[in-house]
Amino acid sequence: MAPFALLSVSVLLLGCITQEGTPSPSPSAIPTVPSPSLAAPSPSPSPVPSFFPSPSPQPSLVPSPSPSPVAQAPTATITIQNFAFNPPTLEIAAGTTVVWVNNDDAKHNVRSVPSSPVSFISGNLLKGQTYSVTFNHTGAYGYYSGLYRDMIGNVIVR
């Protein structure tokens, strides 16, 4: 009987010894299961199949602001024809773009006079070619043809 008692004590001691740092579970903590209520559970509504689709939300039409048109700078045209600028003097508002159009068979160019508030010079324009300058500041802008010096004109910006 002594070996049996020794074995029982050894098993008890080994059961109480745990690994380093790991706690042994407490045998007194017994989870309890809640007892079922005596009242009958109320049935939950089951989904009823529908043969008609439920209406889906429709997107609402919200008008978006339309882009405002970009203001185009005003333009004015001076033609080069019969070795002359037409009109010879042009009055415009500040911000206007002047377009010179060569309608002559000969080549021409457009150059500002040295006293002009802004200097400009075109290359040689063949028939049908154009050159443009935007005048943003008030003043008198004289110009001439560098190939035919008697061809002169003025742009007056108000």
Q: Is residue 6 part of a domain?
A: no
Q: Which domain holds residue 94?
A: 75-157
Claim: this prediction has a pTM higher than 0.75 = no
Task: Specify the CATH number for the domain of residue 139.
Answer: 2.60.40.420
* 28 occurs within a structural domain: no
* Number of structural domains the chain divides into: 1
Nearest in space to 122 (alpha carbons), one of 74, 85, 91: 85
Q: Is residue 18 part of a domain?
A: no
Whole-angstrom distance, CA of residue 105 vs CA of residue 126:
7
Q: Is residue 5 part of a domain?
A: no
Digit-coded pLDDT (tens) for 131-144: 999 999 999 999 99
131 is a domain residue:
yes
Tens-digit pLDDT profile for residues 106-152: 999 999 999 999 999 999 999 999 999 999 999 999 999 999 999 99
The answer to whether residue 23 is domain-embedded is no
